[in-house]
């Protein structure tokens, strides 16, 4: 636990609100400061590009990016063959090898340009949805560009804006006490944003979540899809009245048709889906027709077969992305670990942006607490674990969680203690946590494994009011 996290945990709730607001003011400057407006205008101008415009724009961008990678990125200089370097200088992206996650996780600095040291720079971890968190490094301008993209192609497509009051479900530990009686949110006054705790969501707390939306005049929701779905089910079951909302913009997990129906019924607002990564390797968002458009100025996305050849529309394959938004830490033909398919049909909205028909394998099993709380994105416990290469959480009962870890040198008792602490912080101190060190974690045929698995018997779930 960091010093800041430990201090925050000890503060009274009203001071925590103040701390979150101060942090929110810093993030507001970070994301919306100088250069943001120009980035936003650029995304809006390119939105109506024709296919030929996009082809020219991408060719110029990727040609420069590949030359930078071959010349100034240590990993590519070391691993690319002479033929691959020649292909890079010729702008021939598909002649270059696919990039796995492991080299990035093992040495993220190997992917940083050695001709540029931006100040300030910022580091973030992925949540590790395939059990392997990745550290990404950003310049200040890249952060502003990524937010401008979300404003232009996600929020505005949904009829909202980051300037409007919003609520967010994310992995932030906004309420550090697992046994808290509420409130289960903290308020960021600087952006009129309610941070909702995904770790305390259960039938007996649902009403307080809805009251937080009403109290702070929230106009739209964004964040974890499954958390909003779980809350929506509770709203329906308890017949809670939700204040008027403009839209729900979901992230992190796939939205099924059944989930969408429940959420739109409960919140009386339309659901707009986002598909992206913490590394911003790609960005896809839903238009007014609900179709998931890939933004060509965020990245070049490929969907490929096991032999590396492109999939036909409607054919499922592995998602590979080359990021065009970030120029400091460069990922070329990065294997995301997801499976998707292109749509064979053009979108009625008329945008000349590729349409993803379906993203497969992003709905995770929900972890259920002994008191009925339901949690998603639970694999976040592996973030900032330096001695864990991969991890998997298996729920075997309401009071039993098994954690499998593939460890590196240096793994020991303190690491086990920290894993147990993190699980119990989310589920309560009475949960039995067994940490098991393993040589490897089995993969599926696509090469991906499930980071969270629920073996919870249906009868146990029903005992605490949860339907599986």
**Residues 188, 172 contacting (CB under 8 angstroms):** no
Residues 132 and 432: their CA atoms lie apart, in Å, by: 24
Residue 445's pLDDT is: 47
Residue 443's pLDDT is: 62
Residue 446's pLDDT is: 38
Tens place of pLDDT per residue across the chain (468 aa): 455 677 888 899 999 999 999 999 999 999 999 999 999 999 999 999 999 999 999 999 999 999 999 999 999 999 999 999 999 999 999 999 999 988 998 899 999 999 999 999 998 877 655 556 788 999 999 999 999 999 999 999 999 999 999 999 988 889 988 889 999 999 999 999 999 998 888 889 999 999 999 999 999 999 998 889 989 989 999 999 999 999 999 998 888 888 899 999 999 999 999 999 888 899 999 999 999 999 999 999 999 998 889 999 999 889 999 999 999 999 999 998 888 999 999 999 999 999 999 887 554 567 889 998 888 767 778 878 889 877 899 999 999 999 999 898 899 999 999 999 999 999 999 999 999 999 888 765 434 467 788 898 888 887 887 766
**Residues 17, 194 contacting (CB under 8 angstroms):** no
Of residues 174, 171, 222, the one with CA closest to residue 17:
174
Residues 38 and 87: their CA atoms lie apart, in Å, by: 33
**Pairing state of beta strands 292-294 and 283-286?**
antiparallel
**Pairing state of beta strands 270-276 and 283-286?**
antiparallel
Residue 447's pLDDT is: 44
| pTM metric for this prediction | 0.84
Of residues 27, 99, 138, 24, the one with CA closest to residue 304:
99
E strand segments, 141-251: 166-169, 185-188, 193-196, 220-224, 247-251
Residues 421 and 250: their CA atoms lie apart, in Å, by: 29
What spatial distance separates the first Cα and last Cα of the chain, rounded to whole Å?
A: 33
3-state class (DSSP) for residue 436:
strand
What is the side-by-side strand order in the sheet with 247-251?
Answer: 185-188, 193-196, 166-169, 220-224, 247-251, 270-276, 283-286, 292-294, 355-360, 334-342, 317-323, 299-304
Residues 39 and 60: their CA atoms lie apart, in Å, by: 18
**Residues 317, 305 contacting (CB under 8 angstroms):** yes
3-state class (DSSP) for residue 207:
helix
Residues 170 and 159: their CA atoms lie apart, in Å, by: 22
Residues 291 and 354: their CA atoms lie apart, in Å, by: 10
**Rg for the chain (alpha carbons), in Å?**
22
């Amino acid at each position: 636990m960091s010093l800041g996290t430990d201090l925050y945990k000890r503060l009274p709730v009203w001071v925590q609100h103040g701390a979150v607001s101060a942090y929110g003011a810093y993030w507001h400057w970070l994301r919306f400061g100088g250069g943001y407006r120009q980035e936003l205008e650029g995304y809006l101008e390119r939105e109506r590009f024709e296919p030929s415009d996009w082809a020219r724009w991408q060719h110029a961008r990727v040609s420069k990016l590949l030359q930078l990678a071959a010349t100034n990125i240590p990993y590519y200089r070391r691993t690319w063959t002479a033929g691959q370097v020649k292909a890079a200088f010729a702008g021939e992206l598909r002649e270059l090898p696919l990039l796995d996650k492991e080299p990035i996780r093992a040495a993220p600095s190997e992917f940083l340009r050695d001709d540029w040291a931006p100040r300030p720079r910022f580091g973030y971890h992925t949540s590790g949805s395939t059990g392997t968190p990745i550290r990404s490094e950003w310049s200040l301008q890249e952060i502003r560009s990524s937010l401008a993209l979300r404003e232009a192609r996600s929020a505005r497509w949904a009829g909202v804006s980051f300037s409007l009051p919003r609520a967010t479900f994310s992995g932030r530990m906004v309420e550090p006490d697992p046994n808290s009686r509420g409130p289960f949110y903290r308020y960021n006054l600087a952006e009129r944003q309610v941070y909702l705790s995904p770790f305390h969501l259960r039938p007996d707390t649902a009403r307080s979540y809805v009251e937080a939306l009403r109290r702070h005049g929230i106009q739209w929701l964004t964040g974890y899809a499954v958390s909003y779905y779980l809350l929506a089910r509770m709203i329906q079951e308890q017949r809670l009245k939700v204040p008027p909302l403009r839209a729900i913009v979901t992230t992190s997990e796939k939205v099924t048709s059944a989930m969408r129906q429940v959420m739109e019924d409960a919140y009386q607002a339309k659901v707009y889906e986002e598909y992206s990564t913490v590394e911003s390797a790609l960005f896809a968002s839903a238009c007014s027709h609900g179709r998931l458009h890939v933004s060509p100025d965020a990245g070049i996305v490929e969907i490929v077969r096991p032999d590396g050849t492109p999939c036909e529309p409607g054919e499922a394959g592995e998602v590979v992305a080359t990021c065009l938004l970030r120029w400091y830490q460069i990922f070329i033909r990065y294997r995301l670990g997801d499976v998707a398919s292109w749509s064979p049909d053009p979108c009625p909205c008329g945008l000349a942006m590729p349409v993803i028909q379906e993203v497969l394998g992003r709905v995770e099993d929900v972890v259920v607490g002994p008191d009925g709380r339901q949690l998603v994105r639970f694999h976040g416990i592996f973030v900032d674990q330096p001695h864990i290469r991969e991890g998997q959480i298996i729920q075997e009962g309401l009071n039993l969680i098994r954690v499998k870890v593939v460890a590196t040198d240096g793994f020991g008792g303190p690491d086990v203690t920290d894993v147990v602490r993190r699980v119990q912080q989310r589920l309560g101190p009475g949960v039995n946590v067994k940490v098991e060190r393993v040589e490897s974690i089995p993969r599926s045929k696509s090469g991906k494994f499930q980071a969270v698995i629920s073996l919870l018997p249906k009868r146990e779930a029903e005992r605490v009011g949860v339907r599986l």
